[in-house]
Structure 1
């Protein structure tokens, strides 16, 4: 595998570029096991933190899949996932996770408020069904990522704003991968997180049910802010190792 040591300040960006080229050149194909974090650190001759940031970005854009206890694998993806302009931006963006979380706050806090004001019976039935599935899914939370995404997209539909709904669905895949990365970090670092995540979604649903738009906005903001804080904590811990 042709990996060159990095002699450049934009370390993470160059790691991303080299891995992308390995896939384009056919040296890596879907299903291949990729190098470990330690092997990448040695091959690239960079810090472990830079490698972790690059792996998170590659996982976020759907190019690599990090399987806990198994390793890192090249992920099967549609042709558009490699050439999509948004994916390129995310792939090369230094703080892609943080930026996407900020965009999620901008979209979803308002979506929650509008959903509380405009939801109809069908919206409430959909949200309630998702929340009940989340409860049934405890404590293992095997389907938590998909249910989490379903809940947030259902909120967008309940906002009755076609543009907001379209924006949320346009970034659906990116959101899903963000949830996967941030949730993995959060669950690994914090005991009892699955129950708290369920309770947070349940409380947002209750606020929407009672048409309390301000409470719905506040609960959604706090929900997403906690994810940001856990990500910041993870980054700080990574720098110390």
Structure 2
């Protein structure tokens, strides 16, 4: 398969993203690059490190952006092989619009509502099905959240890992796939929310409560604790979405 040419699409080269943690900005830059270059399906994208350097972001941020593009069917991320374009430029243009709308009201709120229902179900199933090894794996993610301190990127990674682990323990592959897609699309808002002072401490305590319930093998308690976590997270997330929408207005430079 043909490799992507140097990062010089129509209209100029990719430039660094000023707010490196904003996953949607990174995804939009990649979309602009791909739609402007008339690349063929199957084109292999440059290595992760090269893309991250070109955009001026960390590799973890780039991975989240690539995962979101994968959810939309634009990019095929193949572990150990690389990332490949899955659609032609005309399809990418319509998908770019879909990406933009996905992170706005009211669809974002619809995703938040669906995620809440699925996460509560996941916790309940995990508590009923977890073995000792599962509990140990889940505890490692909680400890990683504690060790992250005020490092938002590290905390977000551990937070996501905790939820992915719980979904794995729940043992329902369809549930895992749906949750993975929703989390990828909402990732930019998780990142924003956790940068609000005091949020990390409260979020850690909520996850510890969920873990304790799963460790106790109590589906009822796990369901209740996850519902509490989701209620608190949804209040924060909805407030963040609303404040961004109200402040962004018609600014053409607002790529979130």
- Superposed pair shares fold, TM > 0.5: yes
CA RMSD of aligned residues (A): 3.8
CA contact (8 A) 1:109 1:217 kept: yes
For the structure 1 residues 59 and 212, does the alpha-carbon distance in structure 2 shift closer, same or farther, using more than 3 Å as the test?
A: same
Cα offset, 1:123, TM superposition: 1.0
Q: How does 1:1-241 map to 2 (within 5 A)?
A: 26-27=10-11, 31-33=14-16, 59=24, 62-64=27-29, 81=69, 84=73, 88=95, 89-93=98-102, 94-95=104-105, 96-169=107-180, 171=181, 175-176=183-184, 178-188=186-196, 191-237=197-243, 239=246
Deviation per residue, 1:38-95 (Å, 9 max, x gap): xxxxxxxxxxxxxxxxxx8x71883359xxxxx998x686599276179934433442
For the structure 1 residues 177 and 167, does the alpha-carbon distance in structure 2 shift closer, same or farther, using more than 3 Å as the test?
A: closer
> Where do 4+ consecutive residues of structure 1 move more than 6 Å?
none
TM-score of the two chains, using structure 1 as the length reference: 0.62
TM-score of the two chains, using structure 2 as the length reference: 0.59
Distance of 2:136 and 2:169 partners within structure 1 = 11
Distance of 2:26 and 2:160 partners within structure 1 = 16
Structure 2 residues without counterparts, runs of 5 or longer: 1-6, 31-54, 76-91, 249-256
Cα offset, 1:168, TM superposition: 3.0
